[in-house]
Amino acid sequence: MAYACAEPTNTELNDLIDSKFREFREGSIVKGTILEIRPQVVLVDIGYKSEGAIPSNEFEDEEIEIGDEIEVLLERLENDEGMVVLSKEKAAHKQNWEKIVKVFQDGGLVRGKVKSVVKGGLTVNVGVEAFLPGSQVDIIPPKDLNEYVGNVYEFKIVKINDERKNIVISRREVIEAERSEQRQTFLQSVKIGDKVTGAIKNITDFGAFVDLAGMDGLLHITDMSWGRINHPSELLHIGQSVDVIILDVDREKERVSLGLKQMSENPWEDIERKYPIGHNVKGRVTKLLPYGAFIEIEKGVEGLVHVSELSWVKRITRPSDVLEIGQEISAIVLGISIEEQKISLGVRQLDSNPWDEIELRYPVGATIKGPVRNLTAYGAFVELEEGIDGMVHVSDMSWTRKINHPSEQVKKGDEVEAVVIDIDKNAQRISLGMKQIDEDPWKGIETRYKIGDKVKGTVTKLATFGAFVQLDGDIDGLVHISQLREERVEKVKDVLKAGDEIEARVIKVDKGERRIGLSIKAANYSEEDMRKEAAAFDTAIKPGEDLVGLDQAFASAFEDYRPGQ
């Protein structure tokens, strides 16, 4: 008996189609087969009533052929053109995102390729796009992030935002974890005295940190060189490879002390034999300071030439006036301190000391000529030759006048004549006298001025107690206020003024005290009257009233008197 199959009704056919279509849900990942590869798109059949198109750039990193089966994300069942909208990248992203979340939860690492530089860091493809902050690229902040583009590294996932689909990763944490393991291995195996190689990681004022394959060691500035350095940067730079010796290991605090100078012999151990005192050495100027110059006489050994040891006679204010950095010079070893690792050097000792035979060139009693180089409150310095001065004290400028300041007699640049009166070789001083050029006028004063003599002179100064009168031979006499007139005088200025020409009689001559007493009112006295006035004059003059410009006279002056006018 034959049976005929009844054809399905329209309702049944629609139900069958609907049930088939419901297997394709938007947002799901489905499998498809490549039907055609075009320049702009790749056509894929997912078993739906129409094909789907995927942009060709989603296959840039893959080689595909017609017939290949791939997984894609079904974005839309039908677009305006009636085609299925598919994405291979989004399918991969969805699959990878789930893997990334699992790795993050398990605390694992992901591998990815750096794609590009963005603001604040880098973008990295770890299956999905992730952000790598600049601070998390390396232990040492990189100078140029472009150096990392295109490279593949392992990363630790530090943050995930599931809603925004954002991932933040770190390469630095991976490196630090590796370094921690390396550090422990290093600390357990290393011992004092070991020689190791590292790279300069950081430089400070007190030293440098050296990267020893995961372990940072400190190379102190005092252990960098046997010689003197002011800053580690003079010897080292970041990234430089160095061979060093382990000086100390603190495993509890994870600290290692390193030495660089210990890689070579200490040049100071045999320094006294190599450079005995008085030995002539050659070296290079390495540093110039206000007080001296440092000279490197061999690697790690420097000596100091103090500014005072540069010349016997030249007035050198700063070493930089006569020396330059890098200049090769000769010097004499003056002293050595092994404990302080210091060598004192002298340059002037290469020549004979001009003061050794100074008395032969400028014997005491010799007359010299020279320019006034400088003035001080107590005298004038006269240049005898380059670097050698003689000093004229104010007390040796005049036989007859009290000089309060050398500017009363000379000025800078004046050519003067003087006599050598003393030499002190040890102190390197030559004493000169200007007044010694002429004979002391007071030497034969009793033959030139006798009591009773009439003299003429010029009033030079006024004081409360009298007037100073300049006589012949640059001698000053004093007319006491009591000797101005017969009648009582209240003020000297009522009778005399500076510059007046007067005639007077000598009533007192004291060679020991270097003073001459004069009387204007006694100009026409008899001899008897003169004797009386002389006695009265001795009574009137107070102790210390020097007739040659004593301090009391000037202190008592009632007019504005300036010495030398």
223-255 pLDDT, tens digit per residue, is: 888 877 889 998 899 889 999 998 998 888 888
Count of alpha carbons within 13 angstroms of residue 295, beta-carbon side: 27
Instruction: Give residue 312's identity as a one-letter amino acid code.
Output: W
3-20 pLDDT, tens digit per residue, is: 344 455 555 555 445 444
Name 315's Cβ contacts closer than 8 Å, sequence gap at least 6: 387
Specify the DSSP class assigned to residue 275: S
pLDDT for res 371: 94
Task: Report the range of poorest mean pLDDT among 1-5, 144-148, 361-365, 470-474.
Answer: 1-5
Contact 370, 416 (CB under 8 A): yes
> Which residue do the tokens 């290469």 mark?
350
CA 315 vs CA 35, 378, 386, 481, 491: distances in Å: 99, 21, 9, 53, 54
Residue 555 has pLDDT above 50, yes or no: no
Nearest to 33 by CA among 78, 75, 76, 84: 84
- The rounded distance, in Å, linking the Cα atoms of 518 and 527 is 15
DSSP β-ladder status, 466-471 and 475-480? antiparallel
Task: Report the range of poorest mean pLDDT among 296-300, 311-315, 317-321.
Answer: 311-315
pTM (2 d.p.)? 0.43
Task: Report the range of poorest mean pLDDT among 85-94, 439-448, 529-538.
Answer: 529-538
pLDDT for res 421: 93
83-97 pLDDT, tens digit per residue, is: 888 877 777 777 778
pLDDT for res 423: 92
CA 516 vs CA 49, 449, 539, 541: distances in Å: 147, 9, 14, 11
- The rounded distance, in Å, linking the Cα atoms of 433 and 172 is 84
* Bridge partner residues of 517 (DSSP): 478, 508
Residue 444 has pLDDT above 80, yes or no: no
- The rounded distance, in Å, linking the Cα atoms of 555 and 534 is 26
Instruction: Give residue 545's identity as a one-letter amino acid code.
Output: E
pLDDT for res 549: 38
Most confident range (mean pLDDT) of 149-153, 437-441, 549-553 is 149-153
419-438 pLDDT, tens digit per residue, is: 999 999 888 899 999 988 88
Calculate what percentage of the chain has a pLDDT beyond 70: 89
140-197 pLDDT, tens digit per residue, is: 778 888 999 999 999 998 888 877 778 898 998 888 888 888 788 888 888 888 898 8
pLDDT for res 553: 40
Residue 379 has pLDDT above 90, yes or no: yes
Whole-number average pLDDT of the chain:
82
Nearest to 244 by CA among 291, 296, 207, 199: 199
Calculate what percentage of the chain has a pLDDT beyond 90: 28
The mean pLDDT of 44-51, rounded to a whole number, is 83
Per-residue confidence band for 557, with pLDDT thresholds at 50, 70 and 90: very low
Contact 35, 44 (CB under 8 A): yes
- The rounded distance, in Å, linking the Cα atoms of 260 and 257 is 10
Nearest to 157 by CA among 108, 92, 118, 114: 108
Residue 541 has pLDDT above 60, yes or no: no
The mean pLDDT of 547-556, rounded to a whole number, is 38
Name 264's Cβ contacts closer than 8 Å, sequence gap at least 6: 226, 300
- All structural domains of the chain, each given as residue ranges with its CATH number in brackets, are 22-91 (2.40.50.140), 107-175 (2.40.50.140), 190-263 (2.40.50.140), 271-350 (2.40.50.140), 358-437 (2.40.50.140), 445-555 (2.40.50.140)
The mean pLDDT of 537-559, rounded to a whole number, is 43
- The rounded distance, in Å, linking the Cα atoms of 115 and 61 is 13
Contact 388, 418 (CB under 8 A): no
Contact 506, 478 (CB under 8 A): no
pLDDT for res 4: 43
